[in-house]
Structure 1
């Protein structure tokens, strides 16, 4: 039977003309039997009892409601389902008529994210604080067959504050597979369903030959709804303390992210031996991006260190991250301020750039500062006459040591693509550009240089497609011929943007083989290539491109690295093969123009099959085209084998074959289930950078679902 009981409605009965309450204050009760004990003023429900109040459900074998005290007492197989989907269980409970405040015996709860908490007794107070005695908490699934979770927190007492959404423990022990591992007199973490808030985060601690024993304790500060900061002081055995700050803020139009640290200390080597002056040392990595309107935005990136080994001494990550419109190079910091605009028919950007070198050979006085660099382009669709655009560019570079240079360029290009009878495609193009350089006469020999460059040409291709029952094949031979102005590379023009440029398959059919400004490919040239592709119905995909370039005469400004030296280029080969995620190979190679010897090869193989996933990269550069003048060869391996459903082993190695040196190697074993991941990792690096030498690390890492990551111990 069912009944509607106005338990709280009697006390809150509305008067005539008053507004109706937003929520129904009645409790809906269903049970096999419902009867009243008038002498005791009690209502009793027995057998499959279910009480519903504002979305909260209570189920039990028996329920007794005392009208005098306005309390509900339930016994036998009790389940309470809250409005967020979390479930609570007990042997016996007593609560108020709203099924909220009260106590429970033999209490347990399954939270909305899958976490479980159990206690001998639990008390829910009117102020929203739940107190639990002899409590166990875990985010791991607890099965009837295996009741020991991978990890758990066992404590003498725990408190869940509903208002602050924090769970705190007294005399807490973290157990792994039922074995006590860590003891904390006090431990606290947010309720898994809680919002962001200030508080201590998981610390990191360990041992390093550089720092000795160290401990870093981050504190998360939720400053406002749109800003936050992580404050992470670190104390060490060998050197002075360091303070790291990570600030993040969102605005209506964008956001900023700043990471910085500072300390007052001397230099020190890999053994922690200090030397030099005791001074303030610091770093700052930051970025910001803001929208002005739908088409325009501005931003900044800042990267600066007090000394070039600061990040490696304190193991600070993030040097190689792009923080703006332009990306930096390895061991080079880049600070920038930029403005970008883009619409349907235009694009423009302008930026101020400042570099800091972290390499041993770097002299910051010789590294230029760009104040500024600019590029803008406007497009036109000419209909049956093709497409046209005009562009402008400038670069103002200054140095404390060496030559300054200033360049201004104005240019335009036109392209028209047509399909000829028989399936041929014909692309006709023309480009022209004027450059003006203002130079340092004492260094360059000239105060200024003006030049006019341009190309005109055509590209003819014949794509042939043959569909098949099991494989579709495409073959496309193509040839490009162009003629450009000669003697355009004046020896006085400094080469700032084309030092390591290499002509490859991506620019095979470009009239100007250089994508930058300071070097330009004029004269006559002809490129021919063949692209093939085969696609099988079972998912296998093969593609290759082979090509070469011929020039009417050599240009002494082009070196062997550029692949445009002399009158013929090396043969260019690019190939790829893929079979879904199970297998993929990508290869780029340069074959010598005379004897087809391998001048360069870059190959990447990746696979993900059953319980194995891995990647292998191999490279080789001959001394003929090497920028450093000597041959280099190496291989990088990275893989993981899942031995069982929970255990896996992983490995990684970067080997310099030419130097017969393992630059870096890593081996480890991992355990992972639905609620945790444990890793045991060994690393060794043979890389030397001045006072910092080979390193050997042993790390233990683990993370617990709903709790966080518990740092790592390092031994160098």
Structure 2
């Protein structure tokens, strides 16, 4: 071991043997293996085998073989630094002692303090008095004495633990928000646990909980098995509920969270969440199970007891650099299971294909992505949880194939894209006359498409982007009940050729002002297509043509498709004829990041097009008006608005607007408003939809705030759901008190009320704070 010293310093280096004093760092860290001599220097310029020491005074007694260093003693070794008022190395006793304001700073930034530290020269045992330590995640330990029993076990007597601040802003001591006080605390680094004997949990210094034995994961552990924060609630449906999650770390790449929900009015419900990471991907699966009777919104049970369960699983894996595959599995035994047991995070995207709200999708897929090509193949099925849903009428989709290829080089001076698509839809039952259980419509489609586009810009800024699209479709249809009712064929095959040619034209004009730039951009799209052979299934009982339409049922005319040559998002229906899409877009861009945009546009066509519904705003020769705006007038404030105005009288056909507010000190909030007076997908309220959605978290003081959430049906003049809560938070604690009322009637579930409490403690299992 070599000894380093600063040549400009008047302080003198101590003997190398005294360097073993740095073992004090073992009071909170495992012993490290000595790196090889050839290792790279540390940031302070010392190699791992070098030691640096300095002090104001060094005394060496050759007779007793005792070396004493006094005054501003500092020792640096292997990334650790020891500071003390005095350090004594007794060679015959093989003992080292540091006294007075002893501080050990470790390489990871953690710090230990002590009045006095005594250790042997083998770093296998040691004692500290007046001990304190600042660990990871801002956790703190203090004890009357600390014993370093081995490289992995430390023992503290009359100790206290807290991750909360213990000093006020002015530097004066304060009681932590919560702490654990115990007669003895043992830190076991091998098991990554901290054990307590006779533990007392204090809130604001007041004892609230006692346990003869208590433990939690070491704050420095990345993951560790243990209890997570429980959730307590009261509801009309389940009575009093207590849910206690337990995290079991199975391996470094897998864990399982078991969350039994104990209820007073109904049987317990067991939730689970399994996560596994593989070399090529990951698996995430939620599941739940109970054995119970059915019950209504008041908790009244009826019927026979049976198994009730759900699964929400997803996996995604890489085969190689280009190929990926994955799946989702989403199913439940009861349509109202998630509502009855208040299970959140259900209707989330877990794969590339997403179902509508209150519907579950199970899928399997494979994709290949390269620099200039894309391919995917998938299959999926849907389970509906809405009262009107009949799963037999939903198609099983598979296979669904989509592909795209682009030559790297330009073709005819522009970008060429080749697409291919194919899909098979199979239905068990037709939605018409469900009591008869008629065969459902089955269809198969294959499509090939060419898409070419280029852009020309003139010297004065006019942009012209011509495009050409050509497509060939082949269809096969079986069990066509619409055709059967109109004496047409129940099965048929057909092909059709489609195409469109046109150009996008824009002329952006801008002007620079003192601190902002204003841009006005006229937009025009001209497109022409030959008459399209739509896929006709037959005629309805009142004589209207019924078109095959499997993939454009949720079409909505707005600013996102105003300038699309074919506004319909799917393949089955296609827009034809001569049309012009025109608009004017204006933007104001401030130098400080503020911005605002406004788009006004409309579509015109040479002839009326009946493939669009009367409520779409696109059937007539002149469409409805589209208006869309966004703005960020100041940091933390943004809003958007989009509307469709009737083309004749400018009455409001559809409107959606929202505001977002956020502030690092005061919290956040949002408001959303939607009005649609002719929504063909709304089976209630005569197709009318109008609702208000709002929420937020607002802090009235530094620590206390309120949380709000509400969804109001303005057509029915009633709240669908509303939450109001009180929240307390500080640097180490969060407590939520939430009252919820649901007024929606879902099948047999009527209005309900619930109250829940959620406590989050830093370093005790919550990811927002620790492990």
Q: CA–CA distance in 2 between the matches of 1:260 and 1:577? A: 42
**Is 2:253–2:277's contact at 8 Å kept on the other side of the alignment?**
yes
Gaps spanning 5+ residues in structure 1: where? 10-18, 712-716
**Is 2:274–2:286's contact at 8 Å kept on the other side of the alignment?**
yes
Q: CA–CA distance in 2 between the matches of 1:683 and 1:555? A: 48
Of 639, 659, 672, 2:716 maps to: 659
Q: In structure 2, do the counterparts of structure 1 residues 403 and 90 end up closer, same or farther at CA, with 3 Å as the change threshold?
A: same
State which drifts further: 30-39 or 260-269: 30-39
Q: CA–CA distance in 2 between the matches of 1:377 and 1:456? A: 20
Once the two structures are TM-superposed, the CA of residue 536 in structure 1 deviates from its matched residue by 2.8
Map 1:123-522 to 2 at 5 A. 123-126=147-150, 128-143=152-167, 144-380=171-407, 381-401=409-429, 402-420=440-458, 422-445=460-483, 446=489, 447-448=491-492, 449-492=494-537, 493-522=547-576
Of 540, 551, 554, 2:605 maps to: 551
Q: In structure 2, do the counterparts of structure 1 residues 90 and 562 end up closer, same or farther at CA, with 3 Å as the change threshold?
A: same
Once the two structures are TM-superposed, the CA of residue 301 in structure 1 deviates from its matched residue by 1.1
**Is 2:534–2:573's contact at 8 Å kept on the other side of the alignment?**
yes
Q: In structure 2, do the counterparts of structure 1 residues 289 and 520 end up closer, same or farther at CA, with 3 Å as the change threshold?
A: same
Once the two structures are TM-superposed, the CA of residue 613 in structure 1 deviates from its matched residue by 3.2
Once the two structures are TM-superposed, the CA of residue 460 in structure 1 deviates from its matched residue by 2.6
Map 1:511-660 to 2 at 5 A. 511-608=565-662, 611=666, 613-623=668-678, 627-628=682-683, 629-660=686-717
SS in 1 for 2:109: coil
Q: In structure 2, do the counterparts of structure 1 residues 39 and 209 end up closer, same or farther at CA, with 3 Å as the change threshold?
A: farther
For 1:372-397, what per-residue CA distance to the aligned partner results, in whole angstroms no more than 9, with x for missing partners? 11111222343553222332211111
State which drifts further: 698-707 or 326-335: 698-707
Q: In structure 2, do the counterparts of structure 1 residues 74 and 699 end up closer, same or farther at CA, with 3 Å as the change threshold?
A: same
Q: CA–CA distance in 2 between the matches of 1:704 and 1:453? A: 62
Corresponding residue for residue 114 of structure 2: 90
Q: In structure 2, do the counterparts of structure 1 residues 306 and 34 end up closer, same or farther at CA, with 3 Å as the change threshold?
A: same
**Is 1:702–1:710's contact at 8 Å kept on the other side of the alignment?**
no
Once the two structures are TM-superposed, the CA of residue 277 in structure 1 deviates from its matched residue by 2.5
SS in 2 for 1:185: strand
Q: CA–CA distance in 2 between the matches of 1:390 and 1:120? A: 75
Q: In structure 2, do the counterparts of structure 1 residues 52 and 593 end up closer, same or farther at CA, with 3 Å as the change threshold?
A: closer
For 1:536-569, what per-residue CA distance to the aligned partner results, in whole angstroms no more than 9, with x for missing partners? 3344322111111122222333113332222221
Q: CA–CA distance in 2 between the matches of 1:350 and 1:542? A: 41
SS in 2 for 1:113: helix
Q: In structure 2, do the counterparts of structure 1 residues 62 and 482 end up closer, same or farther at CA, with 3 Å as the change threshold?
A: closer
Once the two structures are TM-superposed, the CA of residue 361 in structure 1 deviates from its matched residue by 0.7
Q: In structure 2, do the counterparts of structure 1 residues 156 and 57 end up closer, same or farther at CA, with 3 Å as the change threshold?
A: same
Corresponding residue for residue 677 of structure 1: 734
Q: CA–CA distance in 2 between the matches of 1:207 and 1:503? A: 44
For the pair 1:6 / 2:33, whether they are aligned, the reply is no
Q: In structure 2, do the counterparts of structure 1 residues 665 and 24 end up closer, same or farther at CA, with 3 Å as the change threshold?
A: closer
Q: CA–CA distance in 2 between the matches of 1:700 and 1:624? A: 39
Q: CA–CA distance in 2 between the matches of 1:539 and 1:36? A: 67
Once the two structures are TM-superposed, the CA of residue 404 in structure 1 deviates from its matched residue by 1.4
**Is 2:566–2:574's contact at 8 Å kept on the other side of the alignment?**
yes
Once the two structures are TM-superposed, the CA of residue 54 in structure 1 deviates from its matched residue by 4.2
Once the two structures are TM-superposed, the CA of residue 315 in structure 1 deviates from its matched residue by 2.1
Once the two structures are TM-superposed, the CA of residue 488 in structure 1 deviates from its matched residue by 2.3
Once the two structures are TM-superposed, the CA of residue 170 in structure 1 deviates from its matched residue by 1.7
- TM-score, normalisation: structure 1: 0.91
Q: In structure 2, do the counterparts of structure 1 residues 93 and 665 end up closer, same or farther at CA, with 3 Å as the change threshold?
A: same
Q: In structure 2, do the counterparts of structure 1 residues 672 and 216 end up closer, same or farther at CA, with 3 Å as the change threshold?
A: closer
Question: Cα RMSD over matched residues?
Answer: 2.7
Gaps spanning 5+ residues in structure 2: where? 1-11, 21-35, 40-46, 430-439, 484-488, 538-546
Corresponding residue for residue 14 of structure 1: none
State which drifts further: 584-593 or 651-660: 651-660
**Is 1:53–1:98's contact at 8 Å kept on the other side of the alignment?**
no
Once the two structures are TM-superposed, the CA of residue 670 in structure 1 deviates from its matched residue by 2.5
Corresponding residue for residue 3 of structure 2: none
SS in 2 for 1:561: coil
**Is 1:634–1:656's contact at 8 Å kept on the other side of the alignment?**
yes
Once the two structures are TM-superposed, the CA of residue 169 in structure 1 deviates from its matched residue by 1.0
**Is 2:192–2:224's contact at 8 Å kept on the other side of the alignment?**
no
Once the two structures are TM-superposed, the CA of residue 206 in structure 1 deviates from its matched residue by 3.9
Corresponding residue for residue 115 of structure 1: 139
Q: In structure 2, do the counterparts of structure 1 residues 416 and 36 end up closer, same or farther at CA, with 3 Å as the change threshold?
A: closer
**Is 1:8–1:26's contact at 8 Å kept on the other side of the alignment?**
no
Corresponding residue for residue 67 of structure 2: 43
Corresponding residue for residue 15 of structure 1: none
State which drifts further: 153-162 or 447-456: 447-456
Q: In structure 2, do the counterparts of structure 1 residues 459 and 505 end up closer, same or farther at CA, with 3 Å as the change threshold?
A: same
For 1:170-205, what per-residue CA distance to the aligned partner results, in whole angstroms no more than 9, with x for missing partners? 222221211222333322112211232333433434
For 1:667-691, what per-residue CA distance to the aligned partner results, in whole angstroms no more than 9, with x for missing partners? 2232322222233322222122122
Once the two structures are TM-superposed, the CA of residue 21 in structure 1 deviates from its matched residue by 11
State which drifts further: 74-83 or 652-661: 74-83
Q: Which has the higher contact order (CA 8 A, sep 6+)?
A: 2
For the pair 1:703 / 2:760, whether they are aligned, the reply is yes
For 1:131-172, what per-residue CA distance to the aligned partner results, in whole angstroms no more than 9, with x for missing partners? 222211111222241331122111222111132221111222
Q: In structure 2, do the counterparts of structure 1 residues 625 and 360 end up closer, same or farther at CA, with 3 Å as the change threshold?
A: closer
**Is 1:6–1:26's contact at 8 Å kept on the other side of the alignment?**
no
State which drifts further: 242-251 or 597-606: 242-251
SS in 2 for 1:365: helix
Q: CA–CA distance in 2 between the matches of 1:32 and 1:258? A: 63
**Is 1:560–1:624's contact at 8 Å kept on the other side of the alignment?**
no
Q: Give the number of the structure whose residues are more often strand, by fraction.
A: 1
Q: In structure 2, do the counterparts of structure 1 residues 253 and 127 end up closer, same or farther at CA, with 3 Å as the change threshold?
A: closer
Once the two structures are TM-superposed, the CA of residue 322 in structure 1 deviates from its matched residue by 1.0
Q: In structure 2, do the counterparts of structure 1 residues 257 and 195 end up closer, same or farther at CA, with 3 Å as the change threshold?
A: same
Q: CA–CA distance in 2 between the matches of 1:25 and 1:411? A: 69
